[in-house]
Structure 1
Amino acid sequence: MGLRASVFVLALLAGGAAAQDGRLERLDTTEAGRAWEAVGRLDFRGSGFCTGTLIAPDLVLTAAHCLFDRQTKARIALDSVEFLAGWRNGRASAYRAVRRAVVHPDYRFGEAISAARVRNDVALLELQHPINNTTVTPFDTAARPGQGEAVGVVSYAHDRAEAPSLQEVCDVMARQQGVLVMSCDVDFGSSGAPIFSFAGGIPRIVSVVSAKAELDGRRVALGTALDEPLARLRGELARGAGYGLDPSPTVNRLRVGQERRDTGAKFIRP
């Protein structure tokens, strides 16, 4: 199945309303949430939140669009961002400020929502101090999942902001030009949430939530095929790119004239 012209996309940063999905397991107890402490809430000083995941003691993976103000389209100042690892019922396993952010160089927040925007909608946050808490273990990442492979998502959302929820029963419906279409239940606040593969019984991150959509009348989640974009971000981080509280040796470079591909899907701005 490819992406069709009937796709209707919504960005996920702000609030909204939707029905709860009975397949979601709320991780609001210590026992239920123990394996997912590295998934946390990214708070933006009371103006909203996204979901982020620790993939190294000092690195949080999330969606690029979480770092932009929807009204001004400017980057959000990092001194207003805090990562709350394992946030559950008013407490977190660790609280960290953000030192630096690296957004995928080809991501353009101001552009109309498109396959290219979803494909590049990924960012890394470098924390001010590593999280060396034995209960918070960073997740590994893995190669992109195949069509039909079972995946799961752990996320916060507008109607489950105080504890994350796990959905293990969704699958990859399509994979086309770096965009994954998944049957996972996501809602406002789920932006940047990790999509996990459970191959071999070990959860590994294979994508992050970029948007929710409708495909042939069915609610779906859209995310990037993570392997290539993440390698690009790690390279940017290694060369000192990004923005944040401390001056960086270099700045992000906009690539001019780079070839862009399109899936042919028609995306509609909400």
Structure 2
Amino acid sequence: MRHLLLALCLAILAQPALAQDTDLRPMETKETSRGWEAVGRLDIDRSGFCTAALISETTILTAAHCLFDDQGARIPPDRFTFLAGLRDGRAAAIRAVIRATPHPDYVHHGTRARNDAVSVDLAVLELDRPIRLPSLAPYTVGGAPTRDVPLTVVSYARDRANVASLQKTCHVLDAISHVVMMTCAADFGASGAPVFATADGIAHIVAVLSAKGEADGAAVSLAATVAGTLDTVLTAHRDGQAPLVSPGPRFTSSGARNDTGAKFVRP
């Protein structure tokens, strides 16, 4: 992967530069949001939010770093609220969260990601009650995205917190070790947003938005792919496993990965 300067965020993502694809369209009507209602805003203790998506009647998927506060402490599950299909202050369904599980190998650091943070930046949260509405069918997951497959992202973010925005087309620029670098736009609040690829007319979640950064002077975003990784999170959630520290790829003292030259920096 080309040289990167990346900013990992806690429930937020930094502003995109103009080099990113930025054809974001707010889904302000029932018609424009059709098929995307199972994406929702994940409120965090009424002080911030991420984006999340329904993957079963009782489970939502988001980024692992959304589960931690600015000091690196785990946020209790009862401080999260999922507002599915939120549009102009009204949600199709509102659920509390009773349990949250990050990827067992995810390690949260205050200023620098000293582990392969993006590649395991996935978490699942269990809702207090199932969501069983025809318009809120859970999404299935798909294989890792490739450069020739256009991507779609649905997210909430700063200045568009009350209505989801659709970026119909963005693309993979590069990929390494369960991380894809993309032209997809990222902004405050878009952490955890589902990245979709469409096959046979059906949208499948293929990655989760994790970070933004810069590559060769252009703004980019990074996402953790779900293929082969989400199963680990679901197993940990089912078994009630506590997070484990995994050696992962080694970093230099400056935070640069030996094998990619990437620097991960939290704001």
Q: Residue 7 of structure 1 contacts residue 215 of structure 1 at CA under 8 Å; is this kept in 2?
A: yes
Aligned counterpart, 1:247: none
Residues 179-224 of structure 1: per-residue CA shift (max 9 Å, x gap): 1101001101000000000132211000000011111122211011
Aligned counterpart, 1:260: 249
Q: Residue 103 of structure 2 contacts residue 122 of structure 2 at CA under 8 Å; is this kept in 1?
A: yes
Moved more, 258-267 or 189-198: 258-267
Aligned counterpart, 1:83: 82
Q: Residue 115 of structure 1 contacts residue 265 of structure 1 at CA under 8 Å; is this kept in 2?
A: no
Q: Over aligned residues, Cα RMSD in angstroms?
A: 2.0
Residues 118-168 of structure 1: per-residue CA shift (max 9 Å, x gap): 111110001111101121111110010113421110000011101011112
Residues 221-253 of structure 1: per-residue CA shift (max 9 Å, x gap): 1011211220101111222x1xxxxxxxxx415
Take 1:75 and 1:210, find their aligned partners in 2: how far apart are those partners? 17
Take 2:195 and 2:22, find their aligned partners in 1: how far apart are those partners? 19
Aligned letter for 1:75? R
Take 1:32 and 1:76, find their aligned partners in 2: how far apart are those partners? 34
Q: Residue 141 of structure 1 contacts residue 206 of structure 1 at CA under 8 Å; is this kept in 2?
A: yes
Q: Residue 24 of structure 1 contacts residue 165 of structure 1 at CA under 8 Å; is this kept in 2?
A: yes
Identity of matched residues, % = 44
Aligned-pair CA distance for 1:259? 4.5
Q: Which runs of 5+ in 1 are unaligned?
A: 242-250
Aligned counterpart, 2:109: 110
Aligned counterpart, 1:56: 56
Compared CA separation, residues 150 and 17, structure 1 to 2 (3 A): closer
Q: Which runs of 5+ in 2 are unaligned?
A: 251-256
Aligned letter for 2:249? R
Compared CA separation, residues 15 and 8, structure 1 to 2 (3 A): closer
- The alignment of Structure 1 onto Structure 2 pairs a total of residues equal to 256
In the alignment, structure 1 residue 38 sits paired with structure 2 residue 35: no
Compared CA separation, residues 153 and 137, structure 1 to 2 (3 A): same
Take 1:117 and 1:63, find their aligned partners in 2: how far apart are those partners? 10
Residues 4-29 of structure 1: per-residue CA shift (max 9 Å, x gap): 1x423242624866689751111111
Aligned letter for 1:77? P
Q: Residue 153 of structure 1 contacts residue 184 of structure 1 at CA under 8 Å; is this kept in 2?
A: yes
Q: TM-score of the superposition, structure 1-length normalised?
A: 0.88
Aligned letter for 1:266? K
Q: TM-score of the superposition, structure 2-length normalised?
A: 0.89
Aligned-pair CA distance for 1:3? 3.2
Residue pairs, 1:80-229, within 5 angstroms: 80-110=79-109, 112-113=112-113, 116-229=116-229
2:118 counterpart SS class:
helix
Aligned letter for 2:59? L
